[in-house]
Chains A and B, each alone.
Chain A
Amino acid sequence: MHDQFETIGKSVHRKEGIPKVTGRAIYADDMRFDGCLYGRTVRSTVPHGTIKEIRFNPGFPWTEFTIVLPEDIPGKNGVTLIDSEQPFLVYREIQHLAEPIALIAHADRELLEKALYQIEVDVDELPAVFTMDAALERNDIFKSYLIEGDNVSDNWLDADVIIEETYGTGAQEHLYIEPQAVIATAIPGESVTIWGSMQCPFYVQKAVAPLFNLPRERIRVVQTETGGGFGGKEEYPNLIAGHAALLAWKSGRPVKMIYGRREDMWATTKRHPSRTHIKAGFKRDGTLVALDIDLVLDGGAYPTLSSVVLSRATLHAWGPYRCNCTRIRSRVVKTNSVPHGAFRGFGAPQAIFAIEMHMNRAAEALGMDPAEIRRRNFLRKGDRMPTGQVVKDELDLGCLMDRALELSNYRHKRSQYEQANRDRGQKRKGIGLSVFFHGSGFTGGGEVHLASEISLRLTEQGGVEVLAANVEYGQGTNTVFAQIVAEACKISPDLVRIHQPDTATVPDSGPTVASRTTMIVGKLIERAALELRHRLNKPEDFRSAASQYLRQHGTLVVSVRYEPPPDIYWDETTYRGDAYAAYSWSCDVAEVEVNLTDYGARVTNFVSTVECGRVLNPALAAAQIEGGIAQGIGFALYEDVVLERGAMKNNQFTNYIIPTTADTPDIHVEFVEFPYNNPGPYAAKGIGEMPIDGPAPAIASAVAHALGGRFINEVPLLPERIMRNIELGSDPLLYQSFGADPELRK
């Protein structure tokens, strides 16, 4: 079906792949600067308190060090993001453990490490809040939403069965393999330059400019090769870039700040822990008639991105189901935990876990197969979501699900495993599924506010250079951008060059987040590339036409800016309208084995069918799905962030377990394409985040199947949680900030 295209739909090889496989790619820590100092952060060791004194122990060679305290900050001591509540350095009140208090720099890393133990911070400790319940009691709410469908109250009377449950998900650590890393240089009083591992160079520029009271153009931010991010390098680099820049400003020398792994895991953001209460009414035939959802997220100590994470959670809470009687209330609360932040999925995995588990519960209660109760309620063309958004295109989720059931041999295995489990062996098998969607791009009017812009420029080789702020961090931006240009200009992708994201030379095409890069920015690139070809009079031989044009005119640059699709409307105040311009859809089927000797569960096979519009690069897209599923397996089974007084206690690879090669099953991905009027380039939609949404409920329902219908409402499904369920025969949900109180872990 891709025959109409030369490059689109082909698995073009990763553009920066050769430097990566040969070790030549340059990451932040690989850069060298003459006279470079290393920077470290002095952090709070209490979760809440006021600082009385910072003491530098005498007898230590402090004069050799550069030291930055809040009073050294030349401008605003607040990290500008949505608000600027979070300080670069605590100046009034410590709000969480590991909060930055002071900065030190020295050329000798070992001496620097020793110096951290020679600084004492005297604090008057204050009572701290670690649980969502305590925060709700205090009414410490950063943000709340309420969405009510067309018909909120009447339908409950039509329900034959009403099911009510509470679900919980834990924090999750990104665990990008390259830790946070930036390098800063400064000309004090004049300008700052930052190189670093990041997703959003213009966010860093926007955050750092007020710190120095400088206009934005005096802050240059350059993204270096980035070793994974998953959201963990969306907003956090703002803080560490500011820190390195403060040290560079004061010392007049380049300053490298590279977090060690323990510091990275202790001090940086995690996925928001969640608790979701669902009450749903069904008819005996499985029809969903009424739905009431109450979702709470733990935001941690500062608002950061929590309001938008909550927004996405809220707008995915109903799952891919039709119900005109829906009410969703959501809140994100303030606690004294390290702020929770962006993580692939951005609130959706928490909400989708709850609704998908609830559908399984309902299927069990009604004696239906989990696939069939879903089929009865799937959204179809013409249906309205609770926001009033109408499904405009044909949507056949039954087809998407059936393909996954077929590939996984679901029906046969479901009965086969049930039969085998009757033998009461030590190893029980189960199979479960989830069906879900993910909105591409920023929520609501977000893309209009961003007003992203990109440029394309003819190169001396007769090719095209892409100037955009969106970064490659493993997901394939460079390659997909090159394919889009190549297709539109009818040239080889090898002739397309991607300019390094650098705020001094590329336009602001927005952050590399929200599954927006291919769909939103890729569309800008398609438009600009078509315009470029048009300006050259649509040549058959682009290369020679480009060379000729450059000889005559010197240069050719085409810039385009985002324009909202004409039929999209969103009301931010009422939360009604088209929340996303497009949705991608998916069905996961997981098989598990639960060992009743050690209560460990493992995934033995995984199938995912995915509809994301036209697939621009099948190998890269499938790789995104496979990697997301592996993270989802971790979220479902292994990844337990033990928060002790609001900070990660198990902050090492050795005791925070992510799936290894031995834990990751064969993953089978198949794309189903419904390329209708999708707003992306060549009818593509977003893909990066969706694969993290489905594995947890699919795996948890497979575990329930293996255990003969015992549902566990909370992930990760650690052996102790499975044991407790089996031994106690019930599952009291421990939904507090996990691990905050030893009593709750009993």
Chain B
Amino acid sequence: MQVSFVVNGKNQTLSAAPMKRLLDVLREDLNLTGTKEGCGEGECGACAVIMDGLLVLSCMVPLCQIQGKSITTIEGLADDANLHPLQHAFQENGGAQCGVCTPGMILAALYYLNNPDEAEDLREALAGNQCRCTGYTRIFKSVEAVGRNEF
């Protein structure tokens, strides 16, 4: 099927199988490989992106659901000259280690900062994004610093 949608502000139209995962559309058709596959079954959060303002797991979203949607991936956060404050904060505070959970984690943090009332606290907000390197301490520091407008 053919679908039109917006990714990082750019219009896209492509044809593919209706059940093709958004994750594969991003990585294979659009070469946006910043979105990572950690489990492929909606459990780890590595493939999280923002779709029409909502945080979604791109491995769980089929192509047939993205008609007309606007999607933001990690590649859409920074412009050429400037990092997004969250990216800056993760770099300054050591929020990224191996880097595979990082794109999804940053997008989940962005969603939380934009929708602070939807979770009890930062711990709850990020609980769907698993990290095996950091013990989360420096991720919390990074997001909290942005919350205080330090970046």
Contacts and interface: CB of A to CB of B under 8 A. Distances in A.
A230 B135 contact: no
Contacts of B71: none
B132 interface: yes
A22 B34 contact: yes
Contacts of B77: 22
B91 A17 contact: yes
A18 B95 CA distance: 11
Given A22-B87, A226-B98, A626 B137 contact: yes
Interface in A7-29: 11, 13-14, 16-27, 29
B44 interface: yes
B94 interface: yes
B146 interface: no
Given A475-B97, A623-B97, A662-B123, A23 B74 contact: yes
A230 B133 CA distance: 9
A14 B98 contact: no
B96 A175 contact: no
A546 to B, nearest CB: 28
A468 B40 CA distance: 34
A664 B36 contact: no
A630 B136 contact: yes
A228 interface: yes
A662 B124 contact: yes
Nearest to B93: A619
Contact of B73 (A23, A225, A260, A623): A23
B104 to A, nearest CB: 9
B131 interface: yes
Nearest to B128: A660
Contacts of A659: 135
Contact of A473 (B86, B98, B106): B98
A361 to B, nearest CB: 29
A663 to B, nearest CB: 8
Name, among A11, A23, A32, A174, the residue most crowded by chain B CB atoms within 10 Å (CB to CB): A23
B118 interface: no
Interface in A634-661: 652-654, 658-661
Given A21-B106, A23-B75, A627-B132, A225 B99 contact: yes
A1 interface: no
A660 B105 CA distance: 12
A234 B106 CA distance: 29
B83 interface: yes
Contacts of A19: 99
Nearest to A606: B135
A620 B94 contact: yes
A227 B36 contact: yes
B37 A626 contact: no
B50 to A, nearest CB: 13
A705 B139 CA distance: 31
Contact of A178 (B87, B100, B126, B137): B100
- Interface bin, chain B: 35 or more
Given A13-B91, A21-B96, A22-B83, A177 B135 contact: no
A630 B38 CA distance: 19
Interface in A445-485: 473-476
A261 interface: yes
Interface string A205-249: 000000000000000000001111010000000000000000000
A661 B126 contact: yes
A188 B104 CA distance: 40
A176 interface: yes
B33 interface: yes
A651 B61 CA distance: 23
A161 B129 CA distance: 49
B94 A623 contact: yes
Given A23-B34, A661-B127, A653 B99 contact: no
A631 interface: yes
A667 interface: yes
Contacts of B90: 17, 21
A474 B36 contact: no
Given A13-B91, A629-B135, A25 B130 contact: no
A30 interface: yes
Contacts of A179: 38
A22 B102 CA distance: 9
Given A178-B100, A653-B39, A658 B130 contact: yes
Contacts of B73: 23
B122 interface: yes
B14 interface: no
Given A178-B38, A474-B97, A623-B97, A20 B102 contact: yes
A664 B136 contact: yes
Contact of A661 (B34, B75, B136): B136
Nearest to A664: B136
B43 A652 contact: yes
B98 A228 contact: yes
A228 B132 contact: yes
A177 B43 contact: no
Contact of A23 (B33, B39, B40, B123): B33
A175 B106 contact: no
Contacts of A623: 94, 97, 133-135, 137-138
Interface in B1-51: 27, 31-41, 43-44, 46
Contacts of B52: none
A32 B130 CA distance: 27
A22 B75 contact: yes
Contacts of B43: 652-654
Contacts of A661: 122-127, 129, 136, 139-140
A473 B98 CA distance: 5
A178 B44 CA distance: 11
B98 A653 contact: no
A18 B92 contact: no
27 contacts: A13-B92, A14-B94, A14-B97, A16-B99, A20-B99, A20-B102, A21-B86, A21-B95, A21-B96, A22-B83, A23-B74, A25-B99, A174-B132, A176-B132, A177-B131, A227-B36, A261-B44, A619-B94, A619-B138, A652-B39, A652-B43, A653-B43, A653-B130, A660-B128, A661-B127, A662-B127, A664-B135
Interface of A: 11, 13-14, 16-27, 29-30, 32, 174-179, 225-228, 230, 260-261, 473-476, 619-620, 623, 626-631, 652-654, 658-662, 664, 666-667
Q: Across chains A and B, which 6 residue pairs bring their CB atoms closest together, nearest first? A: A23-B34, A474-B98, A20-B99, A227-B100, A630-B135, A653-B43
Given A23-B73, A658-B132, 17 more contacts: A13-B94, A14-B97, A17-B96, A20-B96, A21-B86, A21-B88, A21-B99, A23-B35, A27-B33, A27-B100, A29-B33, A177-B131, A623-B137, A627-B134, A629-B135, A653-B39, A661-B129
